[in-house]
Amino acid sequence: MLKGSILQQLEIARRDSNKPIQFGVYYKNTLVSLCHALEDHILTDDSTPIVITAFQQGKWYLQEAERYADIAKRSRQVVIMATPDTGFAEHPTSKHKNVNLVALDPADPVAQEWDLIILSPTFTAMVICQELSSEDYNSNGQPASDKERKFYGLWTFEPELVQETAELAIAHVKRYQPELAEKLIADKQAIQLTLTTPFDLGRIVSRVVDYLQTGQTNLSVPTQTRYQVLDRNLVSNEIQAFLRMAQIMDAADLQNPMAAGEVVAISEMMGQLLDLSAWQIKRLRLAGLLHRIDSLQRVESVLTPGTSTRYQEDTPNTLLSCPLISGMQVLRKMSQMRAVALIITHQTEWWDGTGKPAGLVGDEIPLESRILALIADFQHRVNQKKMSQLTREEIFVQALSECRQQQSHRFDPKLVDTLALLVLGLQQGLDLPLMTLKVNDSMWLFDSENITGK
């Protein structure tokens, strides 16, 4: 990281935190898709955000200048940091009263960053990256194709992290324009007063996925191998969008912030007891991480909504047809996530056939869906009892007893018996291998066998 850059300052500030930053490497075409998706949300939202950007060069800003004129009309303040290349200040967009150009010294490390920071009363998001240096590229040197340029950094929706980065960016602006910095500080403080409003993550994630998939179809590079590398980077970020959403939803639940990690841990233990295959356990893990994204149930794809009202899964040995749940269509659009979407969709089926969405009965319900339904309910019950005067062993016994009351009605009786074995182990001191949600650990998904079981 460049010394003195906003990215480096953020890394140093979080280095000893209990929430360390997970950085990644992104291709330019991935970042373009991400930024356009986040910017377009501004154009459809009435939140009037503060938008702070940094372009590596003024010429890159000029390519987006018309777009930023529209963004300015929907924003409280727009700050554009870049070196003063020819035409940078002369473009009509710069004449808007709330558009502020900060001409960076060419030696300023922020002049080498690609930043987009959005802070509004209803949502927060950011992309903050630096291009790899010549030494960081492999022996082939810097790529000839612009789309293959690589950047190191992160993107996130996390409000705390976005606010922290905005403060660093404003402090940097202060070096050049103190009065503008003071104005931004005042606007940021006003926004913080209303930031408790839940923001529509589902719609933002849907937009991000659509733009990333559009980016896949627009790739134009010389060889198929290089296309596959860029394609994998895009798909990885589609998956990360969902995982980041799940991470924020867990953190926002102050009563049960570890739900996803604990559900995954118990589900994997049950999967091992049931001798499930490696690919089943892996897709069960991802379904466990995403099992609470119920806000997606109400989200249509913002760019390419599905036209079908029925869905037929193409997973081997699975013959299911159920009313289409709009939010799951976003997952189903990704071939790597179709089986995971099926698991999440049918976690609300009941063993006796009275559940939703398809009214499936018994073994008609996908096995991973049955496991997820039972474990999510058990984890919820255990969490509810943690503040009681019960011992650890008593909490597990009572939670299991309550699940048993719904055996053969809501839950698969065989799985409840398996859960009883797990509880016996927990009573005897077995610890849960609790996993931390790491949004960059998704590359195993690219082995199709891991997801579809083919």
Which structural domains are found in the chain, ordered by start?
A: 6-199 (3.30.870.10), 249-452 (1.10.3210.10)
Task: Look up residue 156 and give its two tokens.
Answer: 């996130």
pLDDT means per 10 residues in the chain (454 residues)?
Answer: 92 83 81 86 88 80 84 94 77 89 92 93 89 73 70 87 95 96 93 60 72 58 48 62 71 77 90 91 88 56 35 40 53 71 89 91 95 94 88 89 94 95 80 50 37 40
Q: By CB neighbour count within 10 A (0-12 exposed, 13-18 middle, 19+ buried), where does 428 fall?
A: exposed
pLDDT confidence of residue 133: 79
Closest by Cα among 118, 70, 78 to 100: 78
**CA distances for 260 relative to 17, 264, 276, 358, 384, angstroms:** 21, 6, 20, 25, 15
Asked whether the beta carbons of 184 and 170 are under 8 A apart, the reply is yes
pLDDT confidence of residue 298: 45
| Distance, CA of 117 to CA of 7 (rounded, Å) | 12
* DSSP H or E run through 52: strand 50-54
Beta carbons within 8 Å of 150's beta carbon, 6+ residues apart: 25, 26, 27, 28, 131, 132, 136, 137, 143
| Distance, CA of 162 to CA of 33 (rounded, Å) | 19
Q: Which strand ranges, in their side-by-side order, compose the sheet holding 124-131?
A: 24-27, 150-156, 124-131, 113-119, 50-54, 77-82, 99-103
Bridge partners of 101, per DSSP, are 80
Token pair 């950011």 is at which residue? 126
Counts of helices then strands in the chain (DSSP H, E): 15, 9
Asked whether the beta carbons of 34 and 216 are under 8 A apart, the reply is no
User: Residue 396: how many CB atoms within 10 A of its CB?
Assistant: 22
Bridge partners of 45, per DSSP, are none
pLDDT confidence of residue 381: 93
| Distance, CA of 31 to CA of 52 (rounded, Å) | 16
Global pTM?
Answer: 0.69
pLDDT confidence of residue 234: 55
pLDDT confidence of residue 221: 42
pLDDT confidence of residue 134: 74
Angle at 294 between CA 292 and CA 296, to 5 degrees: 125
* DSSP H or E run through 187: helix 178-192
The radius of gyration of the chain's CA atoms, rounded to the nearest angstrom, is: 24
Beta strand residue intervals within 67-193, DSSP E: 77-82, 99-103, 113-119, 124-131, 150-156
* DSSP H or E run through 91: none
Residues in the chain: 454
Asked whether the beta carbons of 134 and 142 are under 8 A apart, the reply is yes
| Distance, CA of 164 to CA of 152 (rounded, Å) | 19
